[in-house]
Each structure stands twice: as structure tokens, then as C-alpha cells.
């Protein structure tokens, strides 16, 4: 793993709660649900913080997305980012303390479930449970699912016919990488299909957490020591929001249209291209748009403005000095010079930019999801 400057790192949450995280995959197939959960926790002395990049295949996916050689990118990414860890304790015990509001988070194009850990950890430290979905619509750099391996099943059966093997032993990991546009392919058609799948995946994550909250047992395909039953009766699903960045911002709007359980949405530097405008009148919930200064253009803003409503609050703010990558964790992990060249940093200090975005998000959630008892903005 690479050696990085001590001045760089993903900032921890600033709220009163310690933060834990765990991965949940329900249904091993590509149609299943996969997300990382961030939550208030009770860390134990043995609690560790997981690697920011979960495995080497995600570096390969980033290389594909950026259209650079995998072997070259692997060495560079590993040196620059390989040593960083998520600011949350891996599978630490859940902190039972009344009912927590829920946020479903949707990542941007070329991203995956761990790349917004600063935002997710901040929300969890303020008393939210946050499910960061890893989308399987081929818009992320990389993700995986499992398929049954009949040969492995047969070998397992021959090796031990009396005791059945764990299901995981009969499964083979399948990696899915970013799919670029094909020559002559219309972007809107692809992206609209993807945003609809993304919205369905957000809704599916909500329904799984609803089942867990009601006390139903769910099977985690991934081997895990986290006690998912500890979440029973701990989620206030009357206070549920959806949040996302870029393509994830478009996913916020599509999700609000499809599922009225979500009380509001926070859309970070939204990329409006994937959306059909005819759905806009069907979005009934309040939305906060938080934009960067450098990414947005007139046509995109005009489409956001088409969601304006006389009766439903639609707020839009722009944080001066920010760029599109001021929201993912990369902005905290790259030196100033390289960060400016790669447009991972803007003119504003990234910590200040994130604080402004998080405080605006929390204030909006406080008003529209009625969560004022769960966090302190100071």
C-alpha cells in the first residue's frame, strides 16, 4: 500500500455519535441489493476502520472509467490512495438510542459505495442511518454479484454428503465494470434506463431496511459478524430521505417520483441529462439542490428550475470555489497541485466546502424530515 501525507485523509464525522459501517448484500444475483450501511455505533477496543478502496478490482474499474491502462493505474492509485481508510468502525455494535431517521445515498457516474464516506459518516455522526447503495446499472466503476457454480456444488457434495456447506461456498464472484457509450449510441436512452434502475435499487434498499426494522430476518450473502437484528425498531421510516451526487442527484429525483415514502431529497451537483421532464410534475416532495460553481451550465440549471413549485419547497444553492469533485472523498486525498490539475479540488478549502454542504443538507433535513431531535448542527 502507498505512503501518503499525514495532512491528507477523509475527515471523520463531527457529530456526537461514533460511526460504524457494515456491508449488506441481499440476493446474490445481479438483481439483488448491495449497500454499505453507516450508523451510530458503540465501538469496541478491537474495532478497526476498513480500507477506503475495498479491493483491487475497484482500482481496475476506475482505470477503465478514466480510460487509462489498468496496470499503470493500479500502481498509481495504490500509491496515492491505497493506505486510506473509511472514517467508521467496521461492523461495530449498533448504538440503540430510540429511532433514527434514514437516508438512502446514491453515488455518481464512475463511483461506488465507499467514495462518499465523508458525507455518509457525517450524517451518521449526527444520528442518521445511511445506506450507500452500490448500483449495478453499469454506471459505476465496478461492483460485483455472485453466480452459482455447479462444479463447486458437486465437489462440495462429493466431499461431504452429510453436512451441507454454507451457501457462500457454492457461489462465484462476478465483477461488473463501467460500460461506456457505444459508437453511435444515444446517451439519453442509456442513461434514462440506468436512472430508472438506480431508483429501483434505492427503493429496494429502503424496503430491505423496512423489513429489518420490523424484525424480519434477512440473509446477508456476504460473510459478516454484524448483528443486523440489532436494528429492529431502531429506524424511523416516517423520516426517510434520499440523497445523491451527480448521476446520483438525478437518481434522487427519479426515486422521489417513484416512491412517496421518501419525505425529501438532497441533490448534490445534479446531472439532469438522464431524466425525462414529464416526471417532474409527479415529484411531490421538497428538494434541496446544492451545486458546485464550476460544473453547472445554463441548460442544466434551467432543467432544475423546471422543478420549481409554488407549494413545495425547492431550494438551490451554489458553493463558490467548488468543483464537481468537491463532494466525493477524492477531494480530501490529493495534494493541492495534483488536485487542481485533476479538478479534484476547487479554489475553496475542501473541508470548508464539505462543511457548508453538510450543514445545508442537515438544516434542510431538519425542516422537511422532522429530525431536529437527532442532531446538533454546531
**Element containing residue 302 per DSSP (H, E):** helix 298-305
Told to judge if 269 belongs to the known catalytic residues of this protein, a careful annotator would answer yes
CB atoms inside a 10 Å sphere around CB 31: 12
Residues 6+ apart with CB under 8 A from 113: 23, 34, 35, 36, 107, 132, 133, 134, 143
Q: Pick the closest to residue 82 from 51, 112, 115 (CA basis).
A: 51
Choose the catalytic residue: 246, 326, 357, 361.
Answer: 246
Q: Pick the closest to residue 141 from 80, 81, 57, 197 (CA basis).
A: 57
Told to judge if 246 belongs to the known catalytic residues of this protein, a careful annotator would answer yes
Per the CB < 8 A criterion, the answer to whether 24 and 222 are in contact is: yes
Per the CB < 8 A criterion, the answer to whether 202 and 247 are in contact is: no
Choose the catalytic residue: 17, 135, 245, 324.
Answer: 324
Choose the catalytic residue: 64, 137, 236, 269.
Answer: 269
Strands 18-26 and 33-41: antiparallel
Q: Pick the closest to residue 326 from 351, 296, 304 (CA basis).
A: 351
Told to judge if 324 belongs to the known catalytic residues of this protein, a careful annotator would answer yes
Catalytic residue ranges: 246, 269, 324
Amino acid at each position: 500500500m502507498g505512503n501518503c501525507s499525514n495532512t491528507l485523509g477523509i475527515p471523520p464525522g463531527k457529530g456526537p455519535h461514533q460511526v460504524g459501517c457494515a456491508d449488506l448484500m441481499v440476493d446474490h444475483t445481479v438483481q439483488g441489493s448491495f449497500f454499505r450501511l453507516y450508523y451510530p455505533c458503540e465501538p469496541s477496543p478491537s474495532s478497526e476502520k476498513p480500507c477506503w478502496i475495498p479491493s483491487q478490482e475497484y482500482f481496475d474499474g476506475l482505470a477503465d472509467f478514466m480510460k487509462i491502462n489498468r496496470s499503470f493505474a493500479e500502481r498509481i492509485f495504490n500509491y496515492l490512495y491505497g493506505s486510506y481508510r473509511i472514517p467508521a468502525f467496521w461492523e461495530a455494535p449498533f448504538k440503540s438510542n430510540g429511532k433514527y431517521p434514514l437516508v438512502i445515498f446514491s453515488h455518481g457516474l464512475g463511483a461506488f459505495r465507499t467514495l462518499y464516506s465523508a458525507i455518509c459518516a457525517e450524517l451518521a455522526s449526527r444520528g442518521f442511518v445511511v445506506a450507500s447503495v452500490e448500483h449495478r446499472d453499469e454506471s459505476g466503476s465496478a461492483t460485483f454479484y455472485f453466480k452459482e457454480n455447479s462444479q463447486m456444488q458437486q465437489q462440495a457434495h462429493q466431499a461431504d454428503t452429510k453436512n451441507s456447506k454454507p451457501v457462500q461456498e457454492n457461489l462465484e464472484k462476478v465483477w461488473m465494470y463501467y460500460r461506456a457509450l457505444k459508437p453511435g449510441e444515444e446517451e439519453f436512452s442509456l442513461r434514462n434506463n440506468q436512472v430508472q434502475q438506480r431508483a429501483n435499487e434505492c427503493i429496494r434498499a429502503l424496503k430491505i431496511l423496512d423489513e429489518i426494522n420490523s424484525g424480519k430476518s434477512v440473509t446477508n450473502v456476504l460473510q459478516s459478524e454484524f448483528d443486523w437484528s440489532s436494528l429492529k425498531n431502531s429506524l424511523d421510516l416516517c423520516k426517510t430521505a434520499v440523497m445523491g451526487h451527480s448521476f446520483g442527484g438525478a437518481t434522487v429525483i427519479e426515486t422521489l417520483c417513484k416512491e412517496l415514502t421518501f419525505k425529501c431529497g438532497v441533490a448534490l451537483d445534479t446531472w439532469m441529462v438522464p431524466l425525462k421532464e414529464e416526471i417532474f410534475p409527479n415529484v411531490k416532495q421538497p428538494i434541496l439542490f446544492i451545486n458546485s460553481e464550476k460544473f453547472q451550465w445554463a441548460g442544466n440549471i434551467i432543467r432544475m428550475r423546471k422543478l420549481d413549485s409554488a407549494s413545495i419547497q425547492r431550494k438551490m444553492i451554489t458553493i463558490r470555489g467548488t468543483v464537481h469533485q468537491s463532494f466525493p472523498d477524492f477531494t480530501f486525498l490529493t495534494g493541492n497541485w495534483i488536485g487542481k490539475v485533476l479538478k479534484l479540488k476547487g479554489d475553496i478549502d475542501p473541508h470548508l466546502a464539505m462543511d457548508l454542504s453538510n450543514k445545508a443538507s442537515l438544516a434542510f433535513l431538519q425542516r422537511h424530515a422532522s429530525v431536529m431531535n437527532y442532531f446538533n448542527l454546531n
